[in-house]
Structure 1
Amino acid sequence: MALSFAQKEAIVAEVAEVAKTAYAAVGAEYRGLTVEQLTALRVEARKAGVYVRVVKNSLAKRAFAGTDFACMEAGLTGPLLLAFSQEDPGSAARLAEAFAKGHDRFQVKLISIGGKLLDPSELGTLAKMPTYDEAISQLMAVMKAPVQKLVATINEVPGKLVRTLAAIRDSKSKA
């Protein structure tokens, strides 16, 4: 069934709005997957905070104009499913990587982050990026380490003095 002009405008506006706020995008070929498999992918995407949409390539090109994902325009060929990371940069890549492991027909064709087009082989690298909470905890660990070492070093001086005095006391009591 053909889309009316108003429906096409609504789709372009919706995808453009999502693309403006998304951190990263993944385009994957889904040819040969069943409706049940795609529904399962969409359920997992909702849980992960990933916007998933199948859009005609001509509409996607219009939606990507003026966004960081304009670099993907040349690769928009064939039936593609677009996934946008809305919570953290690696969420769409983690979703695509996990889904591709169980479905051979799901092939990642495009990856974009920060206005740059990445090679599909770099999906694993993007998927390993930490979530916001993980990044904050790693930062806090890095910031805490020097302070912790300083406190341990300062605490070592009186500790060593106490151990020395105890050793002298023990040696005098034996003598």
Structure 2
Amino acid sequence: MATPEKAAAIAELTEKFRSSGAAVLTEYRGLSVAQITTLRNSMREHATYAVVKNTLTKRAAAEAGIEGLDEHLVGPTAIAFVTGDPVEAAKGLRDFAKANPALVIKGGVLDGKPLSPTEITTLADLESREVLLAKLAGAMKANLSKAVYLFAAPLSQTARVVDALRAKVEEQGGPAPVAEASADAAPAEADAEATPDAAEGGDDS
């Protein structure tokens, strides 16, 4: 039986999964506390970045109805829970990983659909919601209903980003995104800054 502390950690992670339009799993082994803090701060507008414990995260994902993450929950794991623009969050992780190779993007989920590392990189290459809105405002002034729809609907809560991702991958001649196939070692101090379960360490494998 889970202890009260573990139960609380699972409940918190479950809520994070449910309230996030996307989640990206990363391995942070080799990053310093300062680097993790920099990454967390750089993503603050679009996501929260937290070190998690794999066993608790598996249970939380199951309770939230999220599938396709278990295979990535090995080794030290930190998750970017995306509450803003998933494209901007993906860009932030991609750019940070380029400058800091110790950060490894392992996989993720977008609107309930599993994403591979390649698909997350492709997502980062898409235009942000702000850019799309700017183009829409300039090219479709006569059709304001479309602009109103986009302003009212967050990108992560519509099929637009998944469709754009699928089109981008097909254009590049890569494999079909999972969304289409489904039919439709950081210092221990870093854990103290993360979710309650992080105190037990990110790597429980």
Q: Do Structure 1 and Structure 2 share a fold, with TM-score over 0.5? A: yes
1:6: which partner in 2? Answer: 4
Instruction: Check if 1:116 corresponds to 2:113.
Output: yes
Instruction: Check if 1:59 corresponds to 2:56.
Output: yes
**Which residue type is aligned with residue 88 of structure 2?**
S
**Which residue type is aligned with residue 41 of structure 1?**
L
1:43: which partner in 2? Answer: 41
Bigger drift between 87-96 and 65-74 goes to 65-74
Instruction: Check if 1:28 corresponds to 2:14.
Output: no
Looking at secondary structure, tell me which structure has more helix per residue.
1
Larger Rg: 1
Question: Which TM-score applies when normalising by structure 1?
Answer: 0.71
Local SS of the residue matching 1:126: helix
Question: Which TM-score applies when normalising by structure 2?
Answer: 0.62
Structure 2, unmatched stretches of 5+, are: 145-205
1:16 Cα offset (Å): 1.3
Structure 1, unmatched stretches of 5+, are: 148-175
- Give 1:65-76 correspondences, 5 Å limit: 65-67=62-64, 69-76=66-73
The size of the alignment, in residue pairs, is: 143
Local SS of the residue matching 1:32: coil
Q: CA RMSD in A?
A: 2.3
1:140 Cα offset (Å): 3.0
2:75: which partner in 1? Answer: 78
2:17, 2:88 → 1: CA distance? 15
Instruction: Check if 1:100 corresponds to 2:97.
Output: yes
CA offsets 1:109-159 (integer angstroms, 9 cap, x no match):
112212222221222221134444333333333422789xxxxxxxxxxxx
Answer 1 or 2: higher relative contact order, Cα 8 Å, separation at least 6: 2
CA offsets 1:82-125 (integer angstroms, 9 cap, x no match):
00110122233122111101111111111221222222122222
1:128: which partner in 2? Answer: 125
2:19, 2:37 → 1: CA distance? 24
Identity of aligned pairs, percent?
Answer: 37
1:89, 1:31 → 2: CA distance? 24
1:158: which partner in 2? Answer: none
**Which residue type is aligned with residue 85 of structure 2?**
D
CA offsets 1:37-87 (integer angstroms, 9 cap, x no match):
1111111122x3311111111111111124363221232111111001101
